[in-house]
Amino acid sequence: MYGDPAGASGGGAGKARARELSFGAAVRRLRDAQKTAKGVSLYSRYVNRPAGRVLAAAAYRARLTPNQVTLVSAAFSGAAVAALALGRPSWPLAVAVWAGLVVGFAFDSADGQLARLLGAGSPAGEWLDHVVDCAKITAVHAAVLITFYRHFGLPGDGWLLLPLGFQLAAVLIFFGGLLTDKLKPKAGPGAPAPAPPSRLRAVALLPVDYGVFCLVFLLLGSERAFRLGYLALFAVHALFLVAFLAKWFRELRRV
């Protein structure tokens, strides 16, 4: 789903580094400390988290803090959104926007992984991470609306409602999932071990994974292909939103 739940960023440099880890050792330590794959799509599990792991190890060696990594993520995503809003659609712009969003998403995973490596998680870091995520999700669909209005010869004005609807669905999925996770009680000591993550569920979640969503911008060089691809993803998000809201409400009613 939107925002890979790989962990929130932390504040400050964390605990003192008694022994500096090599890049390879940091990658191995991060792999061993990876959070559960439950509720995570195949893209986040096998592409975004491993990429974030490498970036987190590099950030560790560069002595960056988790919050600094969060801001790097915001910079890549913000540059991609600005290019989408201000540039004229073309195939080179398509690749640039996709690359900026994907790299920003990988750094979004890296900040939480670095926080766990340093033992530096904090409420302030988690707040910053989620605020950046929310801004990114909101801004990217606003930029699509600007592109539709400025550059596309739309068949009708109704198409201008599409980015607004997609924005609403994406924000509700992000916020609803985040709030549900916060309100559900955490498993205490002695609780039964969670069931292993379902590969079928991981495949089913691909259409609402942010990394998969980013792929639609590779179609930006063709107005028709982009509009139809964006419309198809919106339809899938709308269906998943209904299913997610019903599921989350049922789970919280049992609390």
For residue 48, give the nearest of 169, 237, 209, 202 by alpha carbon: 209
Residues 13 and 120 sit within 8 Å (Cβ to Cβ): yes
Residue 11 has pLDDT above 60, yes or no: no
Top-confidence range, 176-185, 187-196, 231-240: 231-240
Residues 55 and 69 sit within 8 Å (Cβ to Cβ): yes
What is the identity of the amino acid at 150? Answer: R
Separation CA 3–CA 181 (nearest Å): 13
Q: What phi and psi values does residue 45 have, to the nearest 5 degrees?
A: -70, -40
Q: Which pLDDT score is estimated for 188?
A: 61
Structural domain contains residue 237:
yes
Q: What is the mean pLDDT of residues 151-161?
A: 94
How many domains does the chain fold into?
1
Structural domain contains residue 62:
yes
Q: What is the mean pLDDT of residues 90-115?
A: 96
Structural domain contains residue 10:
no
pLDDT by residue (tens digit) across 159-189?
999 999 999 999 999 999 999 989 988 766 6
Structural domain contains residue 46:
yes
**Sign of the dihedral defined by the CA atoms of residues 24, 111, 169, 196, in that order:** positive
Structural domain contains residue 18:
no
Residue 140 has pLDDT above 60, yes or no: yes
Residue entry with tokens 């550059």: 151
**CATH number of the domain encompassing residue 103:** 1.20.120.1760
Domain that holds residue 207: 23-182+197-253
Separation CA 211–CA 219 (nearest Å): 15
Structural domain contains residue 152:
yes
Residues for the chain: how many in total? 255
Structural domain contains residue 44:
yes
Structural domain contains residue 105:
yes
The CA angle 20-69-77, to the nearest 5 degrees, is: 155
Q: Report the number of secondary-structure helices (H) and strands (E) in the chain.
A: 10, 0
Residues 176 and 245 sit within 8 Å (Cβ to Cβ): yes
Residues 116 and 128 sit within 8 Å (Cβ to Cβ): no
Can you give the pTM of this predicted structure? Answer: 0.87
CA 5 from centroid of its chain's CA atoms: 8
Residue 50's contacts (CB-CB under 8 Å, 6 or more residues apart) are none
Residue 81 has pLDDT above 80, yes or no: yes
Separation CA 1–CA 17 (nearest Å): 34
Separation CA 91–CA 52 (nearest Å): 27
